[in-house]
Amino acid sequence: MNALIFEKFGSADVLEYRTNLPQPLLKSDEILLEMKSIGVNYADVYRRKGNYHLAGQPPFILGYEGAGIVVAIGEDVSHIAIGDRIGFADVPYANAEYVAVPISKAIPLPEGISFDTAASMLLQGLTAQYLTEDSYSIKNNDTVLVHAAAGGVGQNLVQIAKMKGATVIGLTSSPEKAAIVSNIGADAVFLYKDEWVAQTLDFTANKGVSVVYESVGATLMSSFEATRIAGTVVFYGMAGGDPEPIDPRMLMDTSKTLTGGDLWNVLTTPTARQERANRLFNWLLEGHIKTPEPTVFALENGADAHRFLESRQSTGKLLLHP
């Protein structure tokens, strides 16, 4: 079996394409997928660097998201057949030609959802879905501020918020990325290098926004400045560094709310996983949200994909094809 592996933590240079690995051994409640498309996420970078816990011993195989065709089934599997098209959002060792997927985490793909779309959308789309429905339920006429709006989750947040009737402000790092955010429907786009808090307050007639989707971390206090009285900041990432500690008296004095979220706290059952995925697929098929054209690398060039992701030049999704 071919796979992208690493023996030690470090830069993208530690990633190695190996062709002599054994196929996964199936348990009775698992299916074996021949992978067609694999999602690349920042969590893969963190694991490669040793910032996230990894079970087992080297060689490690990265990846948790992808889609493929069923080529074998365990003896206890009855509702999935060989030849079915399946996606997943949280199954380890995805950077490989074959992946063993527990049936509890298998998501059948409907007609019209390609392997690339599934690998592009399942993790980031389901994340944006729970952020806009569970962490803070966006309502018609809300004003929403989205950090890193040109990224994968960011573009989904912008489109879902617009679908729900909100006014959306995007934050990004360059005019090129700002154009992408404008093209997917944002009502305003501001750059981090400018006075974006003042621009946000001016745009909202000094009221501030209803909710901020905060994924940078280091900008947390500025996000609170841009939030209206009794508004909410949803914290779900720290790509730009650790946030400052929050004084709860500030929350009390301004009636503001700080909340967080994690996808794995809502994908708790096979039923919840399938229902949420079906809702996401319907949004895609009905045209409410669109996936940007992914940037595709061959699995053997996975190190280049990691370098490109870390360069901050990418927009949308990076995929690996075995």
Confidence of residue 23 (pLDDT cuts 50, 70, 90): very high
Q: What is the pLDDT of residues 194-216, one digit of tens each?
A: 999 999 999 999 999 999 999 99
Say yes or no: 256 and 176 in one domain: yes
Residue 122 has which token pair?
């399942």
Closest CA to 154 of 198, 185, 116, 194: 185
Say yes or no: 285 and 183 in one domain: no
Say yes or no: 234 and 309 in one domain: no
pLDDT at 237: 86
Say yes or no: 209 and 290 in one domain: no
Identify the domain boundary among 219, 236, 260.
260
Residue 230 lies in a domain: yes
The radius of gyration of the chain from alpha carbons, rounded to an integer in Å, stands at 20
Say yes or no: 47 and 88 in one domain: yes
Residue 127 lies in a domain: no
What 3-state DSSP class applies to 64?
A: coil
Please check whether residue 64 is in contact with residue 89, taking contact to mean a CB–CB distance below 8 angstroms. yes
Statement: residue 51 has pLDDT above 80: no
Identify the domain boundary among 229, 260, 291.
260
Strands 85-88 and 107-108: antiparallel
Q: What is the pLDDT of residues 86-145, one digit of tens each?
A: 999 999 999 999 999 999 999 999 999 999 999 999 999 999 999 999 999 999 999 999
Mean pLDDT along residues 250-264: 94
Which helix (H) or strand (E) segment holds residue 199: the answer is: helix 196-203
**What span, in angstroms and rounded, lies between the C-alpha atoms of 298 and 292?**
19
Please provide the distance, in angstroms rounded to a whole number, between the alpha carbons at the two ends of the chain.
10
Confidence of residue 292 (pLDDT cuts 50, 70, 90): confident
Say what percent of the chain tops pLDDT 90.
85
Please check whether residue 297 is in contact with residue 319, taking contact to mean a CB–CB distance below 8 angstroms. yes
For the entire predicted model, the pTM comes to: 0.91
